[in-house]
């Protein structure tokens, strides 16, 4: 998948580095050249520009990426201006950090649906890692008893077919999708590895090393799977 991360402070760098680590393509953006220089060798590309300048931000591949993260942690105004500008330029999906309840209210009033609250999100990830250990990558609570997890594949499942594994029968867990590492060209024409989503799960699919599993089930059942 392809992302733009606007704001390369602590949170922005963490997001950019993590998404790159799991095979996604990231372009980082910041008005501070020092921040750009600190990360440019770690991700697909890093650009120094003012995200409130329409001419500058219009040069970004806004419509070619899967999502844009806006991670400003101090300036309420710049965050809102950036979001409004990106919306006017056709950004399909934005994930925006909030710094206060008022900030969140303003963002939602202009149509932002996905909000980041780092402290709350960190707590959720802590819960996920308590259950699944280091295998946990992402976590969503669907109900009090059922959760959706993205997790690293247990080694014992590698090279086995979906039919053989039979997660529903053996663990009472549903496999929703697989993210598989492939090699392709990035937005800058360079060869880069990235994850491709397989959402049509058939019995003949073999689990490969580096596959990420999106699974749904009860907490206790997911814990059993993670312990393999």
User: What confidence tens digit (pLDDT) does each residue in 175-185 have?
Assistant: 999 989 887 77
- State yes or no: pLDDT of 44 exceeds 50: yes
CA distance 45 to 63: 17
Is 2-116's fold the same as 121-226's?
A: no
Q: How many CA atoms lie within 13 A of 165 on its CB side?
A: 25
**How confident is the model over 102-144, as pLDDT tens digits?**
888 889 888 898 988 775 555 455 444 544 455 555 556 667 6
Cβ–Cβ < 8 Å for 19, 193: no
The CB-side HSE value for 102 (13 A sphere, CA atoms) comes to: 3
Q: Which residues sit opposite 26 in a β-bridge?
A: 3
* CATH homologous superfamily for the domain 2-116: NAD(P)-binding Rossmann-like Domain (3.40.50.720)
DSSP label of 24? -
For residue 53, pLDDT beyond 60: yes
- pLDDT of 104 reads 86
The 10s digit of each residue's pLDDT in 83-101 is: 999 999 999 899 999 888 7
Q: Which residues of 152-189 are buried (b: 16+ CB within 10 A; e: fewer)?
A: bbeeebeeeebeebebeeebebebeebbbeeeeebbee
Pick the CATH number of 121-226 from 3.30.70.1450, 1.10.3720.10, 3.40.50.620, 3.40.720.10: 3.30.70.1450
Q: Beta 94-97 vs 114-116: how paired, if at all?
A: parallel
The domain segmentation of the chain, as residue ranges, is 2-116, 121-226
Distance of CA 90 to the CA centre of its chain: 20
**Sequence-distant (≥ 6) Cβ neighbours of residue 25 within 8 angstroms:** 1, 2, 3, 44, 186, 187, 192, 194
Side-chain-facing half-sphere of 147: CA atoms under 13 Å: 23
CA gap 187, 115 in Å, rounded: 26
| Mean predicted lDDT score pLDDT of the chain | 85
Can you name the residues that pair with 30 across neighbouring β-strands? 48
């Amino acid at each position: 998948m392809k992302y733009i991360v606007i704001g390369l402070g602590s949170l922005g760098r963490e997001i950019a580095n993590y998404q790159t680590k799991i095979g996604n393509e990231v372009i980082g953006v910041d008005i501070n050249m020092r921040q750009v220089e600190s990360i440019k060798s770690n991700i697909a590309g890093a650009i120094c520009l003012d995200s409130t300048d329409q001419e500058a931000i219009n040069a970004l591949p806004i419509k070619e990426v899967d999502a844009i993260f806006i991670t400003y942690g101090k300036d309420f105004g710049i965050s809102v201006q950036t979001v409004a500008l990106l919306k006017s330029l056709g950004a399909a999906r934005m994930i925006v950090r909030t710094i206060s309840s008022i900030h969140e209210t303003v963002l939602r009033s202009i149509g932002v649906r996905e909000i980041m609250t780092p402290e709350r999100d960190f707590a959720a990830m802590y819960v996920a890692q308590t259950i699944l250990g280091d295998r946990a990558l992402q976590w969503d609570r669907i109900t009090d008893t059922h959760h959706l997890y993205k997790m690293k594949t247990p080694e014992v499942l590698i090279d086995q077919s979906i039919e053989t594994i039979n997660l529903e029968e053996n663990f009472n867990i549903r496999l929703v999708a697989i993210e598989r590492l492939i090699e392709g060209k990035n937005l800058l024409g360079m060869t880069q590895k990235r994850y491709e989503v397989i959402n049509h799960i058939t019995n003949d699919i073999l689990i490969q090393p580096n596959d990420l599993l999106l699974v749904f089930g009860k907490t206790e059942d997911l814990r059993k799977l993670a312990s393999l």
